[in-house]
Structure 1
Amino acid sequence: MVKEKSTANAAIDYRAIVRDMAPLVASEAREAEAKGDLTKPVVDIFLESELVWFMAPRELGGGASSIRTCIEVLEDLARSDGSTGWSLMATSIHTLYASGWAGDEAIDAMFGGGRRAIVAGMPGPIGKATKLADGRFRGSGRFGFASGSGYADWFLAGMTLSENGEVVRDEQGAPATVTFYLKRDQIEYVPNWDVLGLRATASNDFVVDDVTVSPDFATNVRTYTPLRGPASYRMGGLAFGAAGHCAVVLGMMKRALEEIAIIAAGKARLGYNGPIGSHPMFQKDFAVQEAAYTSLRSRVIEIFEELEREAEAGNPPTPAQFARMYQFVSWVHEVGPEVVRNCHAWAGSAGIREPSVIARCLRDASTARMHSVADPIKMVNAAPHLIEQYADQARDRG
């Protein structure tokens, strides 16, 4: 097992790093879009500053950041550029999954001997795996949306588990899953990311073709019992993923508000007496959109900090807490792109002539809205818990 490393990284100010790299991220964003991946100068800072590992356990050389720090760092980076924030969100969270839930043999391969893995992939159970008689696992599948995969050296691959030809069921009766941890040379990389927004995330496909791994390389990241890391990991890897997605959209919202505030101050339009930024119609609309951003941000942080406190007290999320979490993940992705779209509409020609930051915000936010984590079914699933909560409150009041 990997020995504990220095905890000096606990003092790293990751938000300061992101603030300092903002001019570089902004200057590289257009080239990254054209390339379909982050540029080398940006990736180099990710590695040199240790940003990629800011969520990983300290005993593996990571920052073990609080959930609030996770949200704020990713929001700040997405504020500079949506694709850059999304890429770091994906690799840092997938690295958290691997570092917290992989078995000791896998940890030695990924983090032993001075190594620190950078992990991309798809933890959703897209592939199919079987458990062999000797305890190993064999799996295959084609996986999509491996964001940040351009600079990753390890890949996660989620598998639905079968045994003797039958799907294995977990204690709740749902299909059991395992996540494979695979070196880059164990997968076939398929560079096919050609999309409207989030163009620079290298969210490419990869193929796992009949790969066999030992049990330590195939564990369940959906449990609330990580094998290492801070107590906050007990809120589950999915909670970190949900928080990360919210953070990136919040960053896009903030950047769109900043951009339109600058554009409107100097933009004339027929029918307006002076710049549109001084007109009550724009001012009222801006105040509404800014209220949407600030209220969503405050509530998101509140929800995830509550989950973190419960995890640190030894309590995994309840179904009601999980429902509330995904209610707001869905709502952030519903409201966020609308705020960005509204800002873009006020930009006029400044929003259609390239280079246009506010146009990129619109493309990126619209694409983020399509992610499965934001599907409206999350609202449907949350509703019974919310209705029950309100009914209980009414009964308690008498």
Structure 2
Amino acid sequence: MLWNFPAGRKEKRQVLLNAVEDVREVLEAGADQAEEDGTIPQASVDALYESGLLALKLPAELGGAEADPVTQVEVIEALARIDSAAAWSTMIGATSIAAPGAYLSDEAIEKMFAGGRPPKGAGVFVTAGVAVATEGGYTVNGRWPFASGIRHAEWVSGGVRVVRDGSETSERLRIVFPASQVEIHDNWQVAGLKGTGSNDYSVTDLFVPDEFAWDPMTTAPKRGGPLFLMGLPGLVANEHAAFALGVGGRAWDTIAGQSQVGRGWGRPVAIASRESFQRSLGRCDLQLRAVRSLVIEVLEQAWDSVCNGNTPDLQLQIEMRSSATYATEVAVDVASQAFRYGGGRALYNTSVLQRCLRDLEAAAQHLMVSDSSYEIHGQFMLGMPEIDPMG
């Protein structure tokens, strides 16, 4: 066993937050290289793996932390205050190995977790592939975008539409295959989240055995406890809120720290002396704290539900997603103001402020935190029928 996480919620939280501090120096040292290379450096990957942070959500019986959703928020938020690319890669990597760990068959787990060692994973939820049912499995073709951390993954997952007897069905599956069997496309030249290595990947006529596929909407977890009753979007929405809160908080802490230093031509003036900045400082602090409290409140309700054996109901599923969207929206606004108050110096690539703003704007493009979550929230409030929280 690589890690020995305590069972208690409080103790586990502290161990994980201590792990974040343990990797701080390595992540800080690799942040600029990640931007240049388009993926986090190997030293950062190794530090995240060896610390157990990539096992944040993995079922405990497979050696993972299987942390509750609120603890996950605190851990990802803390990572995002250090390096946004490392935080994003951790949240995607943790889910990409935890989900197969919970839902795949024992036969598949034996191969993936050879010798009891958890592998590193990457995955894309969208159904960008087609799986043609054949004897013993599926023949898969497809190209999936935004595969964060793909260059460091050992196993990869993707969503597929299922074809049987020559006709596409309504079946939607998640399939898993070795990273050595995919083609990685070098197309991650982007404005934000540059260091996450979120390249496209594709497969052509790849055979995937039955045991390496599951239906994410109907398959009951084979391993793990209450965490894997969270449902969708509940299992992943909290990650997006955590990332936004961490990066937004970092941006505002940065400009607050710079505000006492005089700047400008002739007679330098500190922006801390400006009433407009003082107002923004107070307002942004309250906004971040308020939306964080909302996110935690909703997640605690969801956690109470799963601890009682119940998947969170439709209202909670909707609120987990819409509160993550709101957290992202607030963080983007905070980072934008911090960037503006940063003046001309914030334009340089060496500025934390421009990186925070770019990374948050990129994160806000994710489907999980799109405006559709607000529309769905409104539909629920209006009592409309047949609402899908994933839209």
TM-score relative to the length of structure 2: 0.91
1:87 aligns with 2:79: no
Please name the residue that 1:120 is paired with: 122
Aligned to 2:310: 315
Contact 1:87 1:201 in 2 (8 A): yes
1:140, 1:211 within 8 Å by CA — same for their partners in 2? yes
Distance (whole Å) between structure 1 residues aligned to residue 310 and residue 266 of structure 2: 59
Provide closer, same or farther for how the CA distance between residues 212 and 238 of structure 1 changes in structure 2, counting only shifts above 3 A: farther
What is the Cα deviation at residue 381 of structure 1?
Answer: 1.5
Whichever residue aligns with residue 345 of structure 2, its letter is A
- Per the alignment, residue 253 of structure 2 pairs with 258
Q: Describe the superposition over 1:27-58 as per-residue Cα deviations: whole angstroms up to 9, x where unpaired.
A: 32111100111112211211221211121011
Asked if the contact 1:64/1:229 (under 8 Å) is kept, the reply is yes
Query: Which range moved further: 275-284 or 160-169?
Result: 160-169
- CA distance change for structure 1 residues 206 and 6 in 2, over 3 Å: closer, same or farther? closer
- Of residues 69, 75, 78 in structure 2, which corresponds to 1:76? 78
Query: Which residue in the other structure is 1:276 paired with?
Result: 271
Equivalent position SS for 1:286: helix
Determine helix, strand or coil for the equivalent of 2:223. coil
Amino acid corresponding to residue 161 of structure 1 in structure 2: V
Q: Which piece of structure 1 moves more, 262-271 or 372-381?
A: 262-271
1:8 and 1:265 map into 2 onto residues whose CA distance is 44
- The aligned runs of 1:119-198 (5 Å cut-off) are 119-132=121-134, 134-169=135-170, 176-198=171-193
2:228 alignment partner, one of 224, 230, 233: 233
Written as runs of structure 1 = structure 2, the 5 A alignment for 1:377-396 is 377-388=372-383
Letter in 2 for 1:219: W
- Are 2:95 and 1:96 aligned? no
> Are 2:237 and 2:321, in contact at CA under 8 Å, matched by a contact in 1?
yes
Deviates more, 1:248-257 or 1:49-58: 49-58
Which stretches in structure 2 are left out of the alignment for 5+ residues?
385-391
Give the Cα separation in 2 of the matches to 1:188 and 1:257. Answer: 40
1:219-269 per-residue CA deviation (whole Å, 9 max, x = no partner) reads: 122347211111221112642321111111111111001100011111335
Q: Which amino acid aligns with 1:114?
A: G
1:394 corresponding residue in structure 2: none
CA distance in 1, matches of 2:112, 2:127: 22
**Between the two proteins, what is the percent identity of the paired residues?**
29
Match of 1:25 in 2: 27
> Equivalent residue of 1:265, what SS?
coil
2:4 corresponding residue in structure 1: 8
AA in 1 matched with 2:289? T
Give the secondary-structure state (helix, strand or coil) at the position aligned to 2:66.
Answer: coil
- Looking at structure 2, the residues matched to 182 and 95 of structure 1 have their Cα atoms a distance apart, in angstroms, of 12
SS at match of 2:102: helix
Secondary structure at the counterpart of residue 81 of structure 2: helix
Aligned match of 2:364: 369
- Matches of 2:79 and 2:374, distance apart in 1: 28
Give deviations 1:62-98, integer Å, cap 9, x for gaps.
1111111111111110111111100111100111111
| CA offset digits 1:75-127 (Å, max 9, x no partner) | 11011111110011110011111111112111111113132111102122111
Q: Which of 17, 42, 45 is equivalent to 1:43?
A: 45
2:233–2:321 contact (8 Å) kept in structure 1: no
Q: Which amino acid aligns with 2:164?
A: E
Gap regions ≥5 residues in structure 1: 170-175, 390-398
Please say if 1:267 is aligned against 2:262: yes
Partner of 1:393: none
Deviation at 1:270, TM superposition (A): 7.5
Q: CA deviation at 1:60?
A: 0.6
Task: Check whether the contact 1:260–1:347 (CA below 8 A) recurs between aligned residues.
Answer: yes
Give the letter for the 1:208 counterpart.
Answer: V
TM-superposed deviation, 1:131: 2.3
Tell me: CA distance 1:351–1:58, structure 2 relative to 1, closer, same or farther (3 Å).
same
Distance in 1 between residues matched to 2:164 and 2:34, nearest whole Å: 44
Matched with 1:57 is: 59
Q: How large is the Cα RMSD of the aligned pairs? A: 2.1
Report the more deviating stretch, 242-251 or 331-340. 331-340
Q: Which moved more, 1:320-329 or 1:263-272?
A: 263-272
Structure 1 position 344, deviation (Å): 0.7
Question: 2:23 touches 2:48 (CA, 8 Å); kept in 1?
Answer: no
Could you say what secondary structure the match of 1:167 adopts?
strand
Cα separation, partners in 2 of 1:102 and 1:238, compared to 1, 3 Å: farther
Q: CA deviation at 1:372?
A: 1.4
| Shift, 1:206, TM fit | 0.6
TM-score under structure 1 length normalisation: 0.90
Partner of 2:345: 350
The letter for the 2-side match of 1:343 is A
Residue identity in the other structure for 2:263: A
1:32–1:200 Cα contact (<8 Å) kept? yes
* Residue identity in the other structure for 2:294: R
**Structure 1 outlier segments of 4+, above 6 Å:** 270-273
1:150 Cα deviation after fit: 2.0
For the 8 Å contact 1:7–1:58, the answer to whether it is kept is: no
Residue type at the aligned position of 1:313: N
| Per-residue deviation, 1:216 | 1.4
